[in-house]
Structure 1
Amino acid sequence: MRTPTSSSSALGFARYNGRKDVDPNEIIEACLTWREEFLFKQEGILAHYFFGNMQGQFADMTFAKDQKALDQMSEGFMAAPSSKAFLDKLNPETVSLIRCDILKDNFIPPAYFACLEFGTFDAVMDHPFSEKQMLCASDKIENEYLNRFEGSRGHFMGKVSDRTYAEISFVDTLANARQICGGYLSDPACFPLLSMFDPASVNLDFWYLLA
């Protein structure tokens, strides 16, 4: 794992299941090999994290200087032997990828965290919506809700598409992440942001850091 020292403006988040006939430890080793032999040699790639969840799935998150760096990395991905070896251990039907712009100036991932809360949602389109209002609502959550918790390590919003956004939180433990999320829906500081997205569109999960 590389500790980033400069800010990122883009990230890629992939989630997937391993093949049933592959030991999970082999998937972890394949990911580490791919990271060292390919990913960290790509210009503009700043950090990478590998996760698991309670359902036995895996995910990895890559922070980049910008979307161009992610484009360049993607162009060379399939030509790398370590990429092919890694993908061979995954169930291809379960692989999904999200790329988004980080909507926070000078964001650097925290040096220490053990859990990630990653959620996406679609903005409600039947009333006025603006990214500026959304980011103000996000700041309110950080200042009036997340700052109450010692385990909160970082938070930002991302833009996936014109209608779809991501909310990402870094927390010190899985238990604390669930506790923070548990109070989210009932805290007034979170209501402005909650009112901006379609509840039926929410896709949220908790991921614990593997590497």
Structure 2
Amino acid sequence: MLLKQNSTASVMGFARYSRKPEIEPAELVAAARNWQKSFLAKQDGILMHAFVGNLAGEFADVILASDAAAFASMSQNFRGDESARTFHSMLDESTIKLTQIRLLDNAFQVPTGFSSIEIGKLALSGVDGEEEMLASAAQLKSNYLSRFPEAKAHVMGHINGDNYAEVAFAENIGAGRQICYGYLQDESGQNFLKHFDQTSFDLDFWFVLA
């Protein structure tokens, strides 16, 4: 994993996909690590990259960047890099879904000590706005997430329109799932969830592979 500590990020890139059937998982992991070390580590403003998988056998990249310009520069340079082309050639292009997220914490520190990332996409219900939702997210962190030593970081992000992202970093996937599903039994968790159209939830848990 690429991790530049003591750095502040404002943008997250999230790309999920499946491998081509003829590509072995171990091949993809090796190619992702090579791309990470040969290309991403050398890009200005790219603060974190985790190549991750989920329990359904899908894969994803989670990237933290200092700002939108750094993320755009990396995306532009991607096309000309050999390690990036090799890695990309192993992916089933029909399955690739890209999301850019503007983090709503102006001082979000790149976390450490995690091996699991929960990424949830949610749409506001229309009852309250962003300000009220962020106030509930702050209460969730102080009243609920703070009880768990396995919870390493939590941040909200804006995708577009009324669409938002919740991102939670945990020590491991088991803890991440337990903490997240515990929202339903906790008052601050329930207050947070009420801001969103629950038919819009798109939630998954990812574990670090490289």
Question: Which category describes the TM-score, using the shorter chain as reference length?
Answer: over 0.9
For 2:112 and 2:14, the matched residues in 1 are separated by: 19
1:15 maps to a residue whose letter is: R
Runs of at least 4 residues off by over 6 Å: none
The one-letter code of the counterpart of 1:19 is: K
Range with bigger deviation, 190-199 or 84-93: 190-199
Look up the SS of the partner of 2:161 in the other structure: coil
Once the two structures are overlaid, the 10-residue window that deviates more, 186-195 or 17-26, is: 186-195
Amino acid at match of 1:152: A
Counterpart of 2:195? 196
Residue 190 of structure 1 aligns to a residue whose secondary structure is: helix
The Cα offsets for residues 136-185 of structure 1, whole Å up to 9 and x where unpaired, read as 11011111111111211110101111211000111111111121122112
Could you tell me how far apart the structure 1 residues matched to 2:85 and 2:23 are? 15
Q: Residues of 1 paired with 2:46 and 2:116: CA distance? A: 21
Partner of 1:184 in structure 2? 183
Structure 2: 5+ residue stretches without partners: none
**Deviation at residue 79 of structure 1 after TM alignment:** 1.6
- d(CA) in 2 for partners of 1:24, 1:113: 22
* CA-CA distance at 1:135 after TM superposition: 1.1
Match of 2:158 in 1: 159
SS of equivalent residue, structure 2 residue 139 = helix
Q: Is the 8 A contact 2:14 2:98 kept in 1?
A: yes
Could you tell me which residue of structure 1 aligns to residue 44 of structure 2?
43
Q: What is aligned with 1:107?
A: 108
Q: Please state how far the C-alpha of 1:2 moved relative to its aligned partner.
A: 2.9
Question: Could you tell me which residue of structure 2 aligns to residue 119 of structure 1?
Answer: 120
Residue type of the alignment partner of 2:97: S
**Map of 1:31 onto structure 2:** 32
TM-score, normalising length: structure 2: 0.95
- Structure 2 residue aligned with 1:3: 3
Structure 1 residue 84: Cα displacement: 1.1
Amino acid at match of 2:84: S
User: How many residues are paired up?
Assistant: 209
- Mapped partners of 1:80, 1:38: distance in 2: 7
Paired residue type of 2:187: P
Give the aligned residue type for 2:155. F
2:49 maps to 1:82: no
User: Which consecutive unaligned segments of at least 5 residues does structure 1 have?
Assistant: none
**Within 5 Å, which residues of 2 pair with 1:34-73?**
34-73=35-74
- % identity of equivalent residues: 36
Using the TM superposition, give the Cα deviation of residue 86 of structure 1 relative to its aligned residue in structure 2, in angstroms.
0.5
Q: CA deviation at 1:109?
A: 2.5
Cα deviations across residues 88-143 of structure 1 (Å, max 9, x unaligned)? 11111111111111111211222111111110011112x2x322211111011111
Give the distance between the partners of 1:147 and 1:101, measured in 2 at CA: 24
Q: What is the deviation of 1:3? A: 2.5
SS of match in other structure, 1:185:
helix
Q: Give the counterpart letter for 2:137 in structure 1.
A: S
SS of equivalent residue, structure 1 residue 154? strand
Asked whether the equivalents of residues 7 and 110 of structure 2 are also in contact (C-alpha less than 8 Å), the reply is no
What CA distance in whole angstroms lies between the structure 2 residues aligned with 1:31 and 1:74?
Answer: 16
Tell me the CA shift for residue 186 of structure 1: 2.4
